Structure 1
Amino acid sequence: MTMPAQGVKTGIAPPTLWICEHCDTVYRRRELACGEVARCVRCDAILARHHSLSVNAILALVVTAMIAFIQANIWPIVTLGLNGTLISTTLWGCIVMMWREHAQVVAVLAAATLFFFPIVKMVLLGWVSLYARSGRRAPGFRWAMVTLYRIGPWTMSEVFVLGALVAIVKAHMYFDVIPNPGIFAYGVLMLIITAFSSIDVRRLWDVTEETPA
């Protein structure tokens, strides 16, 4: 078990220390074995996880996610048929429809959590990972890392996919429902974003160095 360090003041920790972000308890850092998770003994928060993914693998994951994201937003999600009439729409088509039907709050939340937050997360993670390949910190590294931490819980593509599947099953009782490529692209994106959630981006602080001015 990781034991708290004695006599260490809270502040900017050297690379040999962990600081719990919830209760500020300080721990001496050690290498984690495969699958091991370091937790705070005071509040049980996660301090760090073992990661087998290299920076190159993270960058490749980001590129794959961006390809799936583009496909998910340009392809129709589902086609509804009734009495020979077929109607299909994309995610943005649904958002525009909600806006026109006076559901502006829902439309804004959907646009933010399903489009803007995910794309900002992918762009920033790709930006810092691209420089981290050579052990350098990207311009705006600190701001990017703080933003990645803040928007992490707000990327909800997996919630959208599960909700869409439930809606498709229920709509099948009244319409002819044909799943389109967009929903499958979102399914792939959901799996990739789930993989993102297991990546502790804070390790990029350890594998990079400040670029001299």
Structure 2
Amino acid sequence: MGTTASAGLLICEHCDTVYRRRALVRGEVARCARCDAELERHHVLSVNAMLALVVTAMIVFVQANVWPIVTLELNGQRSSTTLWGMIIAMWREQAQVVSVLVAFTLFFFPLAKMLSLGWLLGFARRGRRAPGFARLMVGLHHFGPWTMSEVFVLGALVAIVKAHTYFDVVADPGIYAYAALTLLITVFAGVDLRQLWDAPLEGTA
């Protein structure tokens, strides 16, 4: 996972080409001349800023899962549901595979990612390397593609527009919370977590 061989060297994790490291300016990205893989990017956010974003994302995540997502009204009857209400309904309607995929991509994987980041950054803020550091960093690398909140938000918005044909539809606070969570996840996607490998932290991986 790490790209650094020593304080002055960078190693491409894809083709093992070695480069001399130099300081990057804001917005600059170092790429491998051989395979064009990203080697390093300028670190805009500090550890404290990233930890603050994780805490914010956790608060929004709780709200997104507690608040109703959408309310449907027909002939004076109203029905609203949360994410887990939707998952349980799909399970009962014999769509178990879809319900499990939704549960993992919208709840368990994002939750695991945020908890792992909070654990790592909490220790990094105190100048220490968290227990299980290497395993968690590898896990975060694999969690990335499986957090699909943005897909859910887009799908929900399309469903709301189409449902207007048959129902009176009201977008509830839960969908807005998921939209905010999507923005936070997008910010995290642009953060190079590999900087934690290079940080001069105490302790073992």
* TM-score, normalised via structure 1 length: 0.91
Partner of residue 32, structure 2: 40
- Return the alpha-carbon distance in structure 1 between the equivalents of residues 4 and 159 of structure 2: 48
The partner residue of 2:167 within 172, 175, 184 is 175
Q: Deviation at 1:191? A: 0.4
**Conservation of the 8 A alpha-carbon contact between 1:51 and 1:199:** yes
- Return the alpha-carbon distance in structure 2 between the equivalents of residues 16 and 172 of structure 1: 59
Q: What 5-or-longer segments of structure 1 have no aligned partner?
A: 1-10
The partner residue of 2:11 within 7, 10, 19 is 19
Number of paired residues? 203
**Conservation of the 8 A alpha-carbon contact between 1:20 and 1:40:** yes
Q: Deviation at 1:163? A: 0.9
Q: Deviation at 1:23? A: 2.0
- Return the alpha-carbon distance in structure 1 between the equivalents of residues 121 and 170 of structure 2: 38
Q: Deviation at 1:52? A: 1.5
Paired AA for residue 121 in structure 1: K
Partner of residue 54, structure 2: 62
Deviation digits for residues 49-69 of structure 1 (CA, Å, limit 9, x no counterpart):
112111000000000000000
Paired AA for residue 136 in structure 1: R
Deviation digits for residues 27-60 of structure 1 (CA, Å, limit 9, x no counterpart):
2211111000111112211111112111000000
**Conservation of the 8 A alpha-carbon contact between 2:68 and 2:80:** yes
Instruction: Label 1:212 to 1:86 Cα distance change in 2 as closer, same or farther (>3 A).
Output: closer
**Conservation of the 8 A alpha-carbon contact between 1:132 and 1:208:** no
Instruction: Label 1:71 to 1:102 Cα distance change in 2 as closer, same or farther (>3 A).
Output: same
- Return the alpha-carbon distance in structure 2 between the equivalents of residues 174 and 52 of structure 1: 47
- Within 5 A, what are the aligned runs for 1:47-196? 47-196=39-188
Specify which structure has the bigger relative contact order, considering alpha-carbon pairs within 8 angstroms and separated by 6 or more residues: 2
Q: Deviation at 1:119? A: 0.5
Deviation digits for residues 113-151 of structure 1 (CA, Å, limit 9, x no counterpart):
100000000001011101111221011111111111111
Q: What 5-or-longer segments of structure 2 have no aligned partner?
A: none
Paired AA for residue 116 in structure 2: L
Identity over the aligned pairs, expressed in percent? 68
**2:181 matched to 1:201?**
no
Instruction: Label 1:12 to 1:62 Cα distance change in 2 as closer, same or farther (>3 A).
Output: closer
* TM-score, normalised via structure 2 length: 0.94
- Return the alpha-carbon distance in structure 2 between the equivalents of residues 34 and 128 of structure 1: 24
- Return the alpha-carbon distance in structure 2 between the equivalents of residues 130 and 158 of structure 1: 27
| Aligned Cα root-mean-square deviation (Å) | 1.6
- Return the alpha-carbon distance in structure 1 between the equivalents of residues 97 and 200 of structure 2: 40
**Is the partner of 2:152 in helix, strand or coil?**
helix
